[in-house]
Each structure stands twice: as structure tokens, then as C-alpha cells.
Amino acid sequence: MSLSDHHKSRFADLWTTARERVVADFRDFHFTWRGFWRWTGIVVSAVLVAAVVTLYFLDWNQMRGPIGRYLSSHYGREVRIDGDLKVKLFSWQPRIDVERLYIGNPNWVATPQGANIRYARVELRLLPLFRGDLILPLVQIDRPDVLVVRDAEGRTNWDGRQQSKEAWKLPPIRRFLINQGHLVIEDAVRKLRFTGTINSSEEAGGRNAAFTLEGDGTLNGNVFTADVRGGPLLNVDESRPYEFNAALQAGQTHVDARGSITAKIDDHATVQ
């Protein structure tokens, strides 16, 4: 008998023995709660192990299509990921990296694109999630191109399928970084059109400002300019106001202001 035939014969014997044992177990089966919980634990453990192994070796780029279709259906606009999607789950601080994220506008907006983000990274703390708390140690956005629209009827392109009057609840953010952002605002209610740039770093740069928003446009038919500067967007929390300095000019009116704004995002953010 060859070595190969020997291994085949041994495998056949093992298979026959295992099959006879399983058949005997089921023939002599008697229900007990101990056995029920034992087999339940085995099945649940096997499913969890399979899920962990699948997530660990998963190529997240294959999930770009399903994720984009789900978000598009949920928010009523096209959402897609045209670049790489990388997810690091098995860490005390999981991380998501997205390249070339496209977010469309609702159908009533003439311009199809609402936002195009070249690169974004979001990190979150794992343990608070088990308590239902979302805490983001880092939100980094590189080269975002964003269009904000409100029409004469009050519809906004940042709301979902149903217009909600409740403010967005912004989770606590430890570091909020924006690099080379481009922002366009078209507000038919306030007759405002604004085009500007936005940047946020961890340290003060030019003119001792870590956050800058500069641009110009029109307001009620007059030329409008804005220069807003503030400190780093660190420890962003809806319960803590963010202080800033602003130089605004519309026609012959010029305003230099120093104030604060809450972190809630809605049409009526509180400014002091």
C-alpha cells in the first residue's frame, strides 16, 4: 500500500468513527437545559469568532458600494466613495480613513454636488461606545469643497429626507482639523452669496489664528466681505461655546465683533 493510500484509508476510518459517534449522540439524545446552554454557547462563540475573523481580513474597499447605496437611500441624495476606504477596528481607538468622498445635493438644488472631500480621517474611542457615548479624538478633513444652500422656502441642502427643526447634536471632538477648505454659501432667505476659504490647525498661524474663514460675496445686493478668526478647534463640545473674532463689511457698513457660538449646528446657532 502506498503512503497516499495509507493516508486516505486513515482519513476514511476517522470520518467513519466521527459519523458513528454523531449518529449515536442523536439516537441517545435527551433534552437537558445544561446541554441546551452548552450548545447555544458553542454556536454563539463560533458565530462571534467567524465575525471577528471576517472583519479582520475584510477588504473594506469592497464595502464602498453597499455603504454608498445605504447612505444615498437614507439621506435622499447620492453618496459615494471614489477612493480608498480603510477601517481599523481592532484598537482602543478605531480609525476610519476615506479618500474622495462625494456627497450630492437633493434633487431641488440646481448644482449636483453638495460636498467633495479629498481625504477625511475620523477616530473614536471604543470604551465609551459601550455606554452609548460617541467621543471623537480626531476629525481631520483635507481639501473639502462644500456648497451650503437654503432656498426662499427655507429648504436646506444639509437636512435629510425630512426637514427637522432640531439642532444636530455634535459629539465631543478633541481635535478638529481642516486643511485648504473651500466654502460656498447661497442663502435666498438672507439674500447672501458667499465664497471663501476655511482652515483649522492645532497651532496659531498667521495673525495668531488657528481657525480662519475668509471670503467675499454679496449680501442684500451689497458687496460683502468676512474675515473670521479663532483659536484651535480643540475639545469641541456642544456644552462649551467657541470664541472668535470677526471683521464683516457689507456696503458702507463695517463691523468688528468678538463673540462666541455654541457647537450645535442648526439655522439658529446662538451667537453672543
Secondary structure of 118-161 in the HEC alphabet?
A: EEEEEECCHHHHCCCCCCEEEEEEEEEEEEEEECCCCCECCCCC
Higher pLDDT, 242 or 172: 172
CA quadruple 59, 129, 101, 113: dihedral, nearest 10: 140
Sequence-distant (6+) residues with CB within 8 A of 64 are 80, 81, 85
Q: Residue 6 has which C-alpha cell?
A: 495509507
> In angstroms, how far is the first alpha carbon of the chain from the final one?
92
The pLDDT score that the predictor gives to residue 229 is 87
Q: Would you say residue 80 has pLDDT above 80?
A: yes
pLDDT category, 236, cuts 50, 70, 90?
A: low
Higher pLDDT, 164 or 86: 86
- Average pLDDT over the chain, rounded to an integer: 80
DSSP lists the bridge partners of residue 194 as 185, 217
DSSP lists the bridge partners of residue 183 as 146, 196
Under 8 Å between Cβ of 182 and 141? no
Phi first, then psi: what are they for 157, rounded to 5°? -85, 0
